[in-house]
Amino acid sequence: MGDDDKRDDDGTRTLRSGLARVVSHDLRAPLRAIKGFAKLLDAGGGLDDSGRDHLSRIRVAADQLDGMMVDLVDWLRTDAAEIKRAPVDLSLLADWAVMDLLDAHPGRDAQVDVQPEMQAIGDEHLLRQMLQRLLHVSWSRAGVDAPIRITVSASDDAGATLLRIHDSGHEAAEPASEFAALRDPRDHDIGMTIARRIAERHGGALESESNADGTTVRVRLPD
């Protein structure tokens, strides 16, 4: 990489990092106010059925916008972050991600099997984000009421760690409408694009395939 290319790359990372801070703090501040006042209105009572319905729609839309802002911040930071390579316990990171999902969906019929002692070389923060994204996508593929069955495993693969996440669901017929301009054309979801980019920044690759048994995502992470 020449000096000009390096300066351009550094400038792009600085810009993305700055935009991520703006979205994370400045743009989310008024959204937090909207959500806070909506909560106060809900707790105060005094609304008729129509008012409660309108308030519910406001809160749902605010939650959706909040989630989209989180996605945008993560997408921006994926390329802005500096890679700090070190040994990483993938099993521990996967367990944390699974616990977050179980806490967010109490009572859901879910079984997630994580292979113990999975190891890789990479940036712990980014790999944790990658696993969170991939497991969230796998969880979502099951639909609203279907049982969730996910298996996370890994093996050595010629100087790399080959991570596999298999679930019993299938890709949606149509990609999500959000972030169409930012999504990789191979992906149905911005979460997959974020995970794919993290794998690529580690010098690896991500691929996904679906068949009658479900969907398997494979991530190759060089040592």
Provide the pLDDT for residue 4: 47
Give kind and range of the element (H or E) at residue 150: strand 148-156
Burial of 177 (0-12, 13-18, 19+ CB in 10 A): exposed
H runs (alpha helix) in the chain: 3-21, 28-44, 49-80, 90-104, 124-141, 190-201
Closest CA to 216 of 177, 168, 176: 168
pLDDT tens for 105-123 read: 998 999 999 999 999 999 9
Going by pLDDT thresholds of 50, 70 and 90, the confidence category of residue 219 is very high
**Residue 59: count of CB within 10 angstroms of its CB:** 16
**Residue type, position 70, single letter:** V
Contact 109, 147 (CB under 8 A): yes
Q: State the average pLDDT for the chain.
A: 86
Domain layout of the chain by residue ranges: 3-80, 86-222
Closest CA to 61 of 30, 34, 25, 43: 34
Domain 86-222: give its CATH architecture.
2-Layer Sandwich (3.30)
Whether the per-residue pLDDT at 202 is higher than 90: the answer is: yes
Whether the per-residue pLDDT at 208 is higher than 50: the answer is: yes
pLDDT tens for 47-84 read: 888 988 999 999 989 888 888 888 888 888 888 778 99
Distance of CA 39 to the CA centre of its chain: 27
**Residue type, position 179, single letter:** F
Q: What radius of gyration, in Å, describes the C-alpha atoms of the chain?
A: 20
pTM reported for the whole predicted model: 0.79
pLDDT tens for 123-134 read: 999 999 999 999
Buried b (16+ CB within 10 A) or exposed e, 134-171: bbbbbbbbbeeeeebbbbbbbeeeeebbbbebbbbbeb
Whether the per-residue pLDDT at 94 is higher than 90: the answer is: yes
